[in-house]
Structure 1
Amino acid sequence: MIENLRRSAVAFGLAAGATRAVYAGLRRRRGGDRRWERTNYAGRAVDLYAGPAVAVGAALGALPAPTRAAAAPAVLAAGVCGAYDDRNGDHRRGFRAHLGALRDGEVTSGAVKLLGIGAAGLAAGALLKARPVDKVLAGVVIAGTAHLVNLIDVRPGRAALAVLTLSTPGLLRGPEPLALASMGAAAAIVGDDLGERTMLGDAGAHALGAALGTAIASANGRVGLVIHAAGVVAAAVYGDQVSRRIAGSPM
């Protein structure tokens, strides 16, 4: 218990410290690259530097965890795939649009993200679990949670606050390094996100979701994996409705 508490404290500190350091460094070196700028829902210009920052922070925060070999690569892969979509994405949204384009021979940035994060989730699940069914379920939970957090990221602070909230129940069983890593990265950037100075973008939302999903997958057995997998699949199927409801809800 004491060792796990120590690991969890280190995970939180690493994730929060690295996130702030990377974010501050990117802001200093911005150099007018407008590909890392967006206009948010309220018409304000914000940067996308929070995304790479939380991806690096959450990945580093996963290193004290015993399951770091699964968690850190999954977080980084989700962040890279999300960053690719941030910089190269088009107007198409949702699985159906991107899969339809893929059937027509066009590889969209959304398809790259979908396939890349899906593969990373399955690879992480294979490292986390022993039985084939559990490996697949864990992969679905990891990739699906990454997608879920991205669906929530439709207004300032929504995704970061969701990660902080969803990470809390697992801590009731005791300190968990992976959960603390995702919380540390989210906590480090939530003020700037709420202040509309930055946004997580796909890079940050997917990275935080992958970190949270890996924590959930590693902590649950077959029944828990089935329940969580069903939840994230349902969210993916009804993704547009989920995003619209969150966008319209008050803080």
Structure 2
Amino acid sequence: MISRVVASFGLAAGLTRAGTAVLRAGAPGGRGRWERTNHAGRAVGLYSGPATAVAAAVGAGRLHPAAGMVVLAAGACGAYDDIAGAGDPRRGFRAHLGALRGGEVTSGAVKLFGISAAALAAGAFLERRPLDRLLAGVVIAGAAHAVNLLDVRPGRAAATALALAAPGLLRGGPGAEQAAVVTGAAAAALPDDLAERTMLGDTGAHALGAALGVAAVACNGRLGLLAHAVAVVGAAVYGDRVSDLARSL
């Protein structure tokens, strides 16, 4: 069992580091496409976002195809927002849903509904009972959005994913292996993120969050799923406030 956990960690960490290096060296489409200005006004590359998303998806997919699918879908939706939503000051569910009521489909709305649909589909494959399937979908989607809410300062999203995945490593079974995937990808991305050389962006943060949600589903029964669902729904309800607070600290 320990060897499988170590293998999952090593695969996710190795793919994240290798993918980041390849993207940084090649910068497909030009470096301008990959650079964003962070909170301190520094130009930071988005290279670790796709690398982390692919690494987490591959690692999760080795354990269950639906897990890999939802992590990749979350990363893809985040990538769409990184590209199409660049420069859009609107953040949070209320802003994007308000725009949708006014007839404007923002990249944030596409991301919200895309990740939610993928999470519910994954829940249908990961669990057997209807209620458990619904709860699993809520946990995965909520975790994806919750981790992204914290991606407002260097290292916060990756460090949060590391901290929240740590208990899962002690559970054993598929849950520990899924937690190792999150831990490996986040640990590999964290040093460059903290040094402000790269950033996860929505691509990496949503993928890490979805992988964290998958690990929570694998580690818990119905009561645990319910507790996690309540927690992530609470984070979503107060998402705008939490994001604003995180930006101010």
SS at match of 1:105: coil
1:241 Cα deviation from its structure 2 partner: 2.0
Q: Conserved in 2, the CA contact under 8 Å of 1:102 and 1:108?
A: yes
1:48 Cα deviation from its structure 2 partner: 0.7
Identify which of 106, 111, 128 aligns with 1:130: 128
Identify which of 70, 82, 97 aligns with 1:74: 70
1:209 Cα deviation from its structure 2 partner: 0.3
Give the equivalent residue in structure 2 for 1:98.
96
Q: Conserved in 2, the CA contact under 8 Å of 1:70 and 1:128?
A: yes
Give the equivalent residue in structure 1 for 2:42.
44
Q: Conserved in 1, the CA contact under 8 Å of 2:62 and 2:68?
A: no
Give the equivalent residue in structure 1 for 2:7.
10
Per-residue deviation, residues 199-227 of structure 1 (Å, max 9, x unmatched): 10000000000000001012211111111
Per-residue deviation, residues 164-204 of structure 1 (Å, max 9, x unmatched): 10001122223611110011111111000000011100000
Q: Conserved in 1, the CA contact under 8 Å of 2:53 and 2:208?
A: yes
Query: TM-score scaled to structure 1, two decimals?
Result: 0.93
Instruction: Give the whole-Å Cα distance in 2 for the aligned partners of 1:14 and 1:29.
Output: 22
> Which piece of structure 1 moves more, 30-39 or 122-131?
30-39
1:69 Cα deviation from its structure 2 partner: 1.4
Give the equivalent residue in structure 2 for 1:113.
111
Q: Conserved in 2, the CA contact under 8 Å of 1:36 and 1:87?
A: no
SS at match of 1:62: helix
Q: Conserved in 1, the CA contact under 8 Å of 2:154 and 2:196?
A: yes
Structure 2: 5+ residue stretches without partners: none
1:242 Cα deviation from its structure 2 partner: 1.5
Instruction: Give the whole-Å Cα distance in 1 for the aligned partners of 2:158 and 2:109.
Output: 24
SS at match of 1:98: helix
The yes-or-no answer on 1:54 pairing with 2:61 is: no
Instruction: Give the whole-Å Cα distance in 2 for the aligned partners of 1:134 and 1:63.
Output: 20
Per-residue deviation, residues 3-45 of structure 1 (Å, max 9, x unmatched): x323222211111111111110100111634232111001110
Q: Conserved in 1, the CA contact under 8 Å of 2:100 and 2:106?
A: yes
Instruction: Give the whole-Å Cα distance in 2 for the aligned partners of 1:32 and 1:202.
Output: 20
Give the equivalent residue in structure 1 for 2:220.
220
Instruction: Give the whole-Å Cα distance in 2 for the aligned partners of 1:64 and 1:81.
Output: 21
**Pair 97,244 (structure 1): closer, same or farther in 2 beyond 3 Å:** closer
> Which piece of structure 1 moves more, 50-59 or 168-177?
168-177
Instruction: Give the whole-Å Cα distance in 2 for the aligned partners of 1:6 and 1:119.
Output: 34
The yes-or-no answer on 1:23 pairing with 2:4 is: no
**Given residue 163 of structure 2, which amino acid in structure 1 is its aligned partner?**
T
Query: TM-score scaled to structure 2, two decimals?
Result: 0.94
Instruction: Give the whole-Å Cα distance in 2 for the aligned partners of 1:123 and 1:8.
Output: 26
Q: Among the aligned pairs, what percent are the same residue? A: 66
Q: Conserved in 1, the CA contact under 8 Å of 2:61 and 2:69?
A: no
Q: Conserved in 1, the CA contact under 8 Å of 2:119 and 2:141?
A: yes
Give the equivalent residue in structure 1 for 2:245.
245
Instruction: Give the whole-Å Cα distance in 2 for the aligned partners of 1:104 and 1:244.
Output: 24
**Given residue 13 of structure 2, which amino acid in structure 1 is its aligned partner?**
A
RMSD of Structure 2 on Structure 1 (CA): 1.3
Give the equivalent residue in structure 2 for 1:145.
143
The yes-or-no answer on 1:200 pairing with 2:197 is: no
